[in-house]
Amino acid sequence: MRCPFCQKPDSRVIDTRAADDGHSIRRRRECTGCGKRFTTYEAVETVPLIVVKNDGRRESFNRAKLLTGLVRSCDKRDIPLERIEALATDIERELRNSMTREVTARDLGELVMEKLKSFDEVAYIRFASVYRKFADIGSFQAELTDLLKAKEQGSGVLAN
Ligand SMILES: [Zn+2]
């Protein structure tokens, strides 16, 4: 990547992240010659993201599918669609930022749960109960207990 200021071909990448549109990668670069900084954008299409399913099959990451799952979990929660879409974008961005080409369905599920937990508790519990139906019920129950405990402590603070 040639520096737009001095044309020197070497630059150092100082930051890499998904652009706000979620469809390109933004790199902040610093020229090793003149030290000036500039930004480049690369189409994400060149970096396909593959989801490895539990049975080993691979499929392209499907944003629509993720959104459908989120919308279903947020059913009747009075959450504007824009907020749910923003959450999907956030999750996709985090995956793209990790610069992994492959993510297991399990890790993707864990990431979604982690995000939902702070987004909407009911949606989180719904998603987690579906997602973990065949996984470790014990650890899920332990997590629910922790969540309820944290909630009790939270309301305790409010009461005081
Ligand atoms: Zn330069």
What 8-state DSSP symbol labels residue 160? Answer: -
Instruction: Compare 100 and 61 and report the one with higher pLDDT.
Output: 61
- Rounded to the nearest angstrom, the distance between the alpha carbon of 27 and the centre of ligand 1 is 16
Q: What percent of the chain has pLDDT over 90?
A: 33
- Distance CA(121)–CA(67), nearest Å, equals 17
Averaged pLDDT of the chain: 82
Residue 112 has pLDDT above 90, yes or no: yes
**The whole model's pTM is what?**
0.57
> How are strands ordered across the β-sheet holding 11-18?
11-18, 24-31, 37-43
- Rounded to the nearest angstrom, the distance between the alpha carbon of 34 and the centre of ligand 1 is 4
- Distance CA(122)–CA(128), nearest Å, equals 10
- Rounded to the nearest angstrom, the distance between the alpha carbon of 40 and the centre of ligand 1 is 14
Provide the sign of the torsion angle of the four alpha carbons 126, 132, 138, 143, taken in this order: negative
Give the residues across from 60 on adjacent strands. 50
Answer yes or no: are the C-beta atoms of 1 and 40 closer than 8 Å.
Answer: yes
Q: Residue 83 has what pLDDT?
A: 93
**pLDDT band at residue 159 under the 50/70/90 scheme:** very low
Task: For residue range 139-151, list pLDDT tens digits in order.
Answer: 666 666 777 777 6
Q: Residue 44 has what pLDDT?
A: 58
Residue 79 has pLDDT above 80, yes or no: yes
- Rounded to the nearest angstrom, the distance between the alpha carbon of 157 and the centre of ligand 1 is 55
- Rounded to the nearest angstrom, the distance between the alpha carbon of 115 and the centre of ligand 1 is 40
- Distance CA(24)–CA(43), nearest Å, equals 4
DSSP H or E run through 24: strand 24-31
Task: For residue range 33-54, list pLDDT tens digits in order.
Answer: 999 999 887 765 556 789 998 8
Q: What is the DSSP string of 35-100?
A: --EEEEEEEGGGS--EEE-TTS-EEE--HHHHHHHHHHHTTTS---HHHHHHHHHHHHHHHHHTT-
